[in-house]
Amino acid sequence: MKTIDELLAEGVAGKRVFVRADLNVPLAGDTITDDGRIRAVQPTIAKLAEAGARVIVASHLGRPKGAPDPAFSLAPAAKRLGELLGADVAFATDTVGSSAKETVAALADGQVAVIENLRFNAGETAKDDAERGAFADQLAELADVYVGDGFGAVHRKHASVFDLPARLPHAAGYLIATEVGVLKKLTAEVKRPYVVVLGGAKVSDKLAVIDQLLGKADRILIGGGMAYTFLYAKGCEVGISLLQKDQVDVVKEYMERAEKSGVELVLPVDVLVSADFPDLKTKAPADFETVDADKIPADKEGLDIGPKTRELYASKIADAETVFWNGPVGVFEHPDYAGGTRAIAQALVDSNAFTVVGGGDSAAAVRTLGFDENAFGHISTGGGASLEYLEGKTLPGLAALEV
Q: Provide the annotated binding site for ATP.
A: 206, 302, 333, 359-362
360 counts as catalytic: yes
Nearest to 130, CA basis, from 166, 96, 163, 169: 163
Summarize the chain as % helix, strand, coil (round to 5).
Answer: 45, 15, 40
Nearest Cα neighbor of 293 from 310, 323, 309, 271 is 271
> Does residue 11 have an active-site annotation?
no
- With b for 16 or more beta-carbon neighbours within 10 A and e for fewer, the 365-380 pattern comes to bbbbbebeeeebbbbb
Rounded Cα–Cα distance for residues 163 and 139 (Å): 10
Residue numbers belonging to the annotated binding site: 22-24, 37, 60-63, 119, 156, 206, 302, 333, 359-362
37 is catalytic: yes
d(CA 370, CA 381): 17
CA distances from 88 to 31, 107, 247, 311 (A): 19, 11, 51, 49
3-state secondary structure 152-218: HHCCCCCHHHHHHHHHCCEEECHHHHHHHHHHHHCCCCCCCCEEEEECCCCHHHCHHHHHHHCCCCC
In 188-311, beta strands by DSSP E: 194-198, 219-222, 264-266, 270-274, 289-292, 301-305
Binding-site annotation: residue ranges for substrate: 22-24, 37, 60-63, 119, 156
Binding site per annotation, positions for (2R)-3-phosphoglycerate: 37, 119, 156
Please say whether the beta carbons of 163 and 365 come within 8 A: no
Element of type H or E holding 134: helix 129-140
Phi/psi at 206 (5° precision):
-115, 0
Selected catalytic residue, list 150, 173, 384, 397: 384
Q: Which of 20, 37, 54, 219 is catalytic?
A: 37
Catalytic annotation, pick one of 239, 360, 382, 397: 360
Residues 61/25, Cβ–Cβ less than 8 Å: yes
Catalytic residue among 2, 39, 167, 202: 202
Residues recognised as catalytic? 37, 202, 360, 384
